[in-house]
Amino acid sequence: MIPKNMATSAIALWAVLMPEAARGQQGDDTETTDLSMEEIIITGVFRDSSLSTAPVAVTAIEDEVIQQSGVISAADLLKNVPGVFVNSSLGEIRNTVYSRGVAAGSNEAASGYFYVSMQEDGLPVTNVTFSNYGPDYFLRSDATLGRLEALRGGTAVIAGPNAPGGIFNYISKTGKSDPGALVTARFGLEGDGRNPYYRMDAFIGGEVSGADGLYYSVGGFYRSSDGARDPGYTANEGGQLKANLLWEYDTGSVKLGAKYLNDSNVFFEFLPARGYDDPDFAPGITPYDSTLPPAAPHTWTDAFGEEASWDGSNLVKNEQFAVTLNWNHDFDNGWSVQNDFRYSMNNTDWNTGAVIFPVPATDTVAYVFANTLGRPGVYRFTDRATGAVAAEVTSATGFDHTLTLNNLPNPGIIDGGLLTQVAFDPDHEVDEIMNQFKVTKEFDNQLITIGAFFSRAEIFRSFSGGGIGFSGIEDNPSLYDVDLIAPDGTVFQVTSPEGFAAVGDALSAGNVNDGTQEQISIFLAHNIDLTDKLTLDWGVRYETLDYNFTNSIASAVPVPEVFSAPDAVGEDGDPLTLFDNYLPTLGTPLNADRDYDYLSYSVALVYEMSDEVTTYLRFSSGEKAPDANFVVGIDTEDEARNLFQDAQEIRQFEIGIRYTGDDLSLSLFPFWSELSNVGDNQLFSDENGETYTPPPALGMTTTYGVEAEMLWTLSPALSLRANATIQQADSEDFGAWVANGPERGDDELVLIPDGDADNIPNFMGRATLTYAPVEEFTSYATWTYLGDRPANRNNAFDLPAFSIFDLGANYQLFENVLLGAEVRNVFNKTNGVMSWGPTGGLLASLNRQALTRAQVDADPNGLLNIITAPPRSFFFTASVNF
């Protein structure tokens, strides 16, 4: 519950900031200029509200801001919203978005949208999230985007499907809202002028001739680029086509929309760095390097007995076909209905690298992944590009490994170090249907909305074993051929002709998951004017979420079944090739079903002090059920019987204060946010072989702060738009059980010391100064700041603060021709760390929560892996309006 002193202080603060509300007095009726605050908001509210009076923390991002944001990914636009943390350093996909410290389940890129709903035209882009699958694989910002409405917390618990952290609604243009035609050509040089970028956007819309009230729009984009860090092949290629047809009749409207997205994208991997207090790239590594593997196309037989393939240059192919239908109708006597429907087919086909970390050539785990542990002899690593022997590792027993020849590059990073390169090849197919229906009745002084949301997704996910490769720690690394010279002189090929070991092995084969996710919600919202100035706004939502999956676990079967048999020749019939000696085989299907249901609510008092000032006081309480990732991870009968994960709890308290004047609009949102019941169940076996689950350690993060946003017209030629967030986030009670012995009583709960919540900056800010001395010319400068933040729950070290500056200008060459130029990251800040990973071996690199402050103090200049903000880039744009 909210601490009593905090609740009392907040109410007192509200009264001080709005004395007329506290005394029940009236404000004056001074007329004001709208300054974009009179835009109608439709996200997170059940009564259409102007931005200046909306009783929620919502930000509207209009076309001008969209154009000045220079976005690479759709998530980039959210940097213009206070309270929202955005990590888009990986590229156009696989980003991370969260707000107000509600982040415990989404710090990793694999699950970066755990708490929020990314929507297009009022419905989720996809309502399914699990590891390495989420909305931004199918969401792009292009010429069809009209505006973005971003809601943090608050009514997201009743307006969003299992998304209490926020709703970010990307609203498309229509032929009515944006009549005319636009064609934009954009050329860029990313990677500080190294890597070309080409893009074309187009949009056309208007009223259908001779059809009163019927409007059409068609648009989309196509783009090809080598990315901020050139991987040696095209990094992003593809686009989307969107269209809608809007019919407005006397008492309502119908809009039919369609989208086809076919886009292939890369995401960048970590680069080696040194020093924890101020990490910078290790000697021999530059901010323009890519450690992604070469294309190396190859095939193998997958767990279904079919031919599978991997080609790194095919990237992550994302494809979505979606149809939407929106209907609004107003009846007599204040009744109205709204129905929003979407059907989508979503597919992702991965061909990219993963688990790319620098490790010693003697790392035992690397040989486990390569399926050669226990084989003695000399392992010879030969550079496929040059033919030179890069290293030799000698093993007397097959379990010991000693580096005996070392020509590996960049010894200053790891003397005798390799990069591991897993050929990552998951595929996802998700067919979804969603529908939201609302009935609203408006009375003289109140409005009641009753509605229901339904979604059903049929999900199929499979992993195939593309194998593991090894390369030097360098830019655009080539793979190494690995041979094993046995003690008797026999030479075995550890890697395939393309450079991969353990092709078809279960370690990379993973699981096959086939199932459904069904969600049903009913909600009620009530808005009542208590007086001319005071309004009560409240709502409640009941949510059910059902998962029904069949998980088939792939295991590696030797070919033939006895690996050491003389006739263990592998799939190709050659006993000297080890890379194909295993085939993935699906085990017995396992049923994994989990059901959740919970109640959420939000209540606010809204007070209109005057025409210039509106305030509100809101409390919200909701839950976040686990996403599909928990259910597809159940892979044994014991886990199916014993592993259960409760929903997390989110509570928020906020005050909203909005001022709209002739030259200034200003909004402040003091908030308190609590995320609790965060924990994972663990499964142990006792001395009798019976499985059990000890009570999990349930952690909690508490965040309090202030969000602010401002638009200030300094003069007819000069304006400033800014947002800032000051916050403090604390974590407590996180930990895990350690099974010290077979008896249940020997288990020990090891808690992480309470401290600052990881990856929550104390300050975030963004400001854009726009200068337009004449009608034909506009220039702007943007400053983005991200404060320092703890690297993990142990508070082992802090990721340092940094700033990014952008510059741009537009010139109206002719009445319908606009030329633009932009420089992003003007001062080429290349060590602004957005994400990191530890070192110390292949398994150690996967667990960033294990690093402690004592380890950092013992080796302050130690090696770590980082992903940083993209280097400087240059863009030139020509737009033609018709």
Q: What is the CATH number of the domain that holds 269?
A: 2.40.170.20
Distance CA 596, CA 649 (A): 13
Q: Looking at the domain assignment, is residue 147 inside a domain?
A: no
Low-confidence residues of the chain: pLDDT under 50: 1-36, 561-566
Please check whether residue 360 lies inside any domain of the structure: no
Token pair in block for residue 18 = 């709005």
The H or E element spanning position 540 is: strand 534-558
As a three-state string, the secondary structure of 499-538 is: CCECCCCHHHHCEEEEEEEEEEEEEEEEEEECCCCEEEEE
| Residue ranges with strand state E in 190-279 | 195-207, 214-225, 236-249, 252-265, 271-274
Q: Of the candidates 412, 393, 374, 517, which has an alpha carbon nearest to the alpha carbon of residue 457? A: 517
- What secondary structure does DSSP assign to 287-318, as a single string? TT---PPP---EEEE-TTSSEEEE-GGGEEEE
The per-residue pLDDT for 99 is 96
* CA–CA gap between residue 308 and residue 466 (Å, rounded): 8
For residue 98 the two structure tokens come to: 């969260």
State residue 266 phi and psi, 5-degree precision. -105, 155
Angle of CA points 412, 413, 414, to nearest 5°: 100
- Measured CA to CA, the distance from residue 61 to residue 69 in angstroms comes to 10
- With 0-12 CB in 10 A as exposed, 13-18 as middle and 19+ as buried, what is 455? buried
Amino acid at residue number 307: E
> Tokens 């064609």 label which residue?
183
Token pair for residue 717?
């030629």
Can you give the pLDDT at residue 8?
43
In a domain, 185, yes or no: yes
Residue 451 backbone phi and psi in degrees, to 5:
-150, 175
Q: Report the distance separating Cα 221 and Cα 317, nearest Å.
A: 16
Q: How many domains is the chain partitioned into structurally?
A: 1
Backbone angles phi, psi at 63, to 5 degrees: -60, -40
Tell me the C-alpha distance between 656 and 836, whole Å. 35
Query: In terms of Cα–Cα distance, which of 115, 117, 125, 122 is closest to 42?
Result: 122
573's tokens: 């019939």
pLDDT at res. 15: 39
How far is Cα 221 from Cα 227, in angstroms, rounded to an integer? 17
Q: What's the rounded Cα separation, in Å, for the pair 331 and 348?
A: 43
With beta carbons less than 8 A apart as the criterion, state whether 789 and 760 touch: yes
Return the sign of the alpha-carbon dihedral for residues 76, 476, 190, 721. Answer: positive
**Residue 480 in domain:** no
156 phi/psi in degrees, rounded to 5: -60, -25
Output the six-digit token pair for 132: 């390495």
Look up tokens 């263990």; give the residue.
568
SS (H, E, C) 384-402: CCCCCEEEEEEECCCCCCE
Q: Are 128 and 628 in contact (CB under 8 A)?
A: yes
Would you list the DSSP string of 836-860?
EE--SSTTGGG-GGG--HHHHHH-T
Structure tokens at 385: 């590009």
Residue 111 in tokens:
């699950």
Closest CA to 507 of 864, 843, 107, 818: 843
Phi, psi of 20 (to 5 degrees): -65, -35
Residue with tokens 């107003």: 330
Closest CA to 241 of 323, 185, 134: 323
Dmax over Cα atoms in the chain, in whole Å? 96
The H or E element spanning position 432 is strand 426-442
Token readout for 9 is 């202080």
What range defines the domain where residue 725 resides?
Answer: 180-354+426-467+504-881
**Rounded Cα distance, 234 and 401, in Å:** 38
Q: Residues 197, 187: contact at Cβ < 8 Å?
A: yes
Residue 830's closest CA among 802, 807, 799, 863? 802
Residue 681 resides in a domain: yes
As a residue count, the chain comes to: 882
- Separation between Cα atoms, residue 731 and residue 510, nearest integer Å: 33
Counting beta carbons within 10 angstroms of the beta carbon of residue 588, is it exposed (0 to 12), middle (13 to 18) or buried (19 or more)?
A: exposed
Beta bridge partners of 351: 315
**Rounded Cα gap, residues 372 and 577, in angstroms:** 12
What 8-state DSSP symbol labels residue 56?
S
Q: What is the pTM of this model?
A: 0.93
- 534, 560 contact by CB (below 8 A): no
> Can you tell me which residue has the tokens 């019976």?
690
**Could you give the 3-state DSSP secondary structure of residue 234?**
coil
Handedness of CA 503, 509, 514, 517 (dihedral sign): negative
3-state secondary structure of 648: strand
C-beta of residue 90 within 8 angstroms of C-beta of residue 267: yes
The amino acid at 777? F
Q: Are 308 and 571 in contact (CB under 8 A)?
A: no
Q: Are strands 116-120 and 166-172 parallel, antiparallel or unpaired?
A: parallel
Q: Is residue 580 part of a domain?
A: yes
Taking CB atoms within 8 Å and a gap of at least 24, the contacts of 557-561 are 557/582, 557/583, 557/584, 557/585, 558/582, 559/583
